[in-house]
Structure 1
Amino acid sequence: MGKMKINLTNPATRQIKQAKIGFSWTTFFFGVLVPLVRGDWKWFFILLAITIILGIPTFGFGGALVGLVFSFVYNRLYINDLLGHGYGPADDYSEKALQSKNFIG
């Protein structure tokens, strides 16, 4: 399936959000700015706090390490949060992609 971009929709608000499954290159390069731009306040503040806490005593190295680690997990966290807030697959492709990566049963 390659690079999977999926569409999630909230049936209550009719809002559609697109998300990528897999490694987050945007998080790798832009770190804490990604959840900020997406309006993902929970993960913005968590990532910001961890980056500051680990970055200050290590002169930035710890903050860079946080960005690297979150690059591998952020998209999964973001999709799980959307699913938890009532979003679901907007089309058959998105549903199959979510099933293949064990987001939904």
Structure 2
Amino acid sequence: MKVNLKHPETNMVKTVKVGFSWTVFFFSFLPPLFRGDWKWGIIIFLAASFTFGFTGLIFMFIYNKIYLNELLEKEYVAVDDLSETILKDRGFIAS
């Protein structure tokens, strides 16, 4: 499931997947880096380095939630009604 988010000042639109991250599963720390999320890319890289990749098994379940929460903290808002409904149903925004 994907949601569309838009920043009200810059009008930048981002499409974010909600749920399990297959890209982190297959490519570990690279998806956060390609999204410009340097902080979490480095954290995942360091964690995977010290645990021989086992930490990546945890981040594939939680990374999309972390990324989505950070965008919402940066004042991104849902573009359409479907995205808003998904965010409400999953508990990202209040009803």
TM-score, normalised to structure 1, is 0.86
State how far apart, in whole Å, the 2-side matches of 1:45 and 1:88 are: 26
Q: How many residues align?
A: 94
Larger Cα Rg: Structure 1 or Structure 2? 1
Matches within 5 A, 1:1-105: 4-55=1-52, 63=53, 65-105=54-94
Pairwise CA distance, 1:86: 1.1
- TM-score, normalization: structure 2? 0.95
RMSD: 0.8
Runs of 4+ in 1 over 6 A off after TM superposition: none
User: Residue 66 of structure 1: CA displacement?
Assistant: 1.3
Deviation at 1:54, TM superposition (A): 1.8
- Which consecutive residues of structure 2, in runs of 5 or more, have no partner in the other structure? none
Of 44-53 and 93-102, deviating more is 44-53
Query: Equivalent residue of 2:42, what SS?
Result: helix
